């Protein structure tokens, strides 16, 4: 199950229905669940209303219930640790006076509109991620996924168009990846050897769908190996459409490139089982049809990647995985926006 923001956690505390919501997908055949984005314990982490965190006893107790219910239904669960970076604007709760944190003050190229992080800020956040990873282990999670994709804080460091720092966290690809690699290293050091620590990455950004970390194949291999060498146990690679090759239409997708370059377990994601992009949900074109999964079976059969993450299709039908496994794809409930608006 792909991480999907639900906005059902007032005060950072998951709704009482959260254990049922997650366990339904576990009993429905999902082998590994990635939680919705969970804000790291930092004043500037939040950028959207009613997202969960790990800060209060109430939140921790609810996450313990979620983990227990998922495990009781035979699945594993990883907590996705998330910081929105410059997506946050002044005036946003819970601390309206706190600005968005960024590597260079930019959210999009060319205009400084947010706070530029100091070296002390960077080190504070590295340790924050590590502490939260340890909390996740103590709550019973099987691992964490560091959210380094989609134009949020860590991805803002990756993106050379807005990371214009001249110190060891800017410039070369190795320097731009340093924040992420230090987070991975610190999170591994704070947790036990059996606890999994991985990272989610994407080339595209929500600020610019055409943006890339790099357009060079060899440099992309270097990037993935920087993450591997820092201790990543897996790489979750987000495409907008999983079936599209990264450099050629019929070539390997981003997860395929990551697996080939590093040998690490890779997860692919992107519009699985639905016939429209997620962005059309907000343009009034939200009614989808269940799509043929032939391309997915082919890519998994060819070992292009190891796991596929399913998002919207699992919001609509918690039994999606069981139906696919049992040859009942025609019985899958199609997705529409009502499944975003309701907690099912």
pLDDT one-digit tens code per residue, 20-37: 999 999 999 999 999 999
Beta-strand pair 196-205/143-150: parallel
Length of the chain: 344
First to last CA, the chain: 14
Dist. CA 47–CA 98, nearest whole Å: 11
Average of pLDDT values for 35-63? 98
Active site residues: 152
- Cis bond upstream, residue 267 (ω within 30): no
Residue 292: pLDDT band with limits 50, 70, 90: confident
Residue 276: pLDDT band with limits 50, 70, 90: low
Q: What is the pLDDT of residue 184?
A: 98
* 339 within 8 A of 315, measured Cβ to Cβ: yes
Alpha helices (H) in 273-311, listed in sequence order: 294-301
Q: What is the pLDDT of residue 286?
A: 55
Determine the Cα angle at 19 with ends 17 and 25, to 5°. Answer: 105
Does position 289 have pLDDT exceeding 80, yes or no? no
Indicate the CATH number for domain 10-341.
3.20.20.70
Per-residue pLDDT tens over the stretch 246-257: 999 889 999 999
Q: What is the pLDDT of residue 283?
A: 54
Angle between helices 178-190 and 217-229 (to 10 degrees): 30
Least confidently predicted of 52-56, 57-61, 208-212 = 208-212
């Amino acid at each position: 199950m792909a991480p999907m923001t639900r906005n059902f956690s007032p005060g950072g505390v998951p709704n009482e229905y959260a254990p049922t919501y997650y366990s339904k997908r576990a009993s429905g055949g999902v082998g590994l669940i990635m939680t919705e984005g969970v804000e790291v314990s930092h004043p500037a982490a939040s950028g959207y209303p009613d997202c969960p965190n790990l800060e209060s006893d109430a939140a921790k107790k609810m996450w313990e219930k979620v983990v227990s219910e998922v495990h009781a239904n035979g699945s594993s669960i990883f907590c996705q640790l998330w910081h929105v970076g410059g997506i946050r604007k002044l005036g946003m709760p819970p601390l309206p006076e706190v600005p968005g944190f960024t590597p260079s003050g930019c959210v999009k190229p060319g205009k400084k509109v947010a706070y530029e992080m100091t070296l002390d800020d960077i080190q504070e956040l590295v340790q924050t991620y590590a502490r939260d990873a340890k909390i996740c282990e103590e709550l019973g999670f099987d691992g964490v996924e560091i959210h380094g994709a989609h134009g949020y804080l860590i991805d803002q460091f990756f993106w050379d168009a807005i990371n214009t720092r001249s110190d060891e966290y800017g410039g070369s690809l190795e320097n731009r990846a340093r924040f992420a690699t230090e987070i991975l290293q610190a999170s591994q050091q704070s947790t036990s050897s059996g606890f999994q620590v991985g990272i989610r990455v994407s080339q595209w950004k929500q600020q610019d769908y055409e943006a890339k970390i790099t357009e060079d194949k060899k440099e992309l291999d270097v990037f993935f190996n920087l993450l591997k060498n820092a201790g990543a146990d897996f790489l979750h690679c987000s495409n907008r459409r999983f079936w599209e090759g990264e450099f050629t239409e019929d070539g390997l997708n981003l997860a395929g490139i990551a697996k080939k370059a590093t040998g690490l377990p890779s997860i692919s994601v992107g519009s699985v089982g639905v016939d429209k992009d997620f962005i059309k949900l907000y343009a009034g074109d939200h009614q989808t049809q269940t799509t043929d999964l032939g391309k997915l079976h082919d890519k998994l059969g060819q070992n292009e990647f190891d796991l596929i993450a399913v998002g919207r299709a699992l919001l609509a039908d918690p039994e999606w995985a069981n139906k696919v496994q049992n040859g009942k794809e025609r019985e899958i409930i199609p997705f529409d926006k009502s499944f975003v608006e309701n907690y099912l």
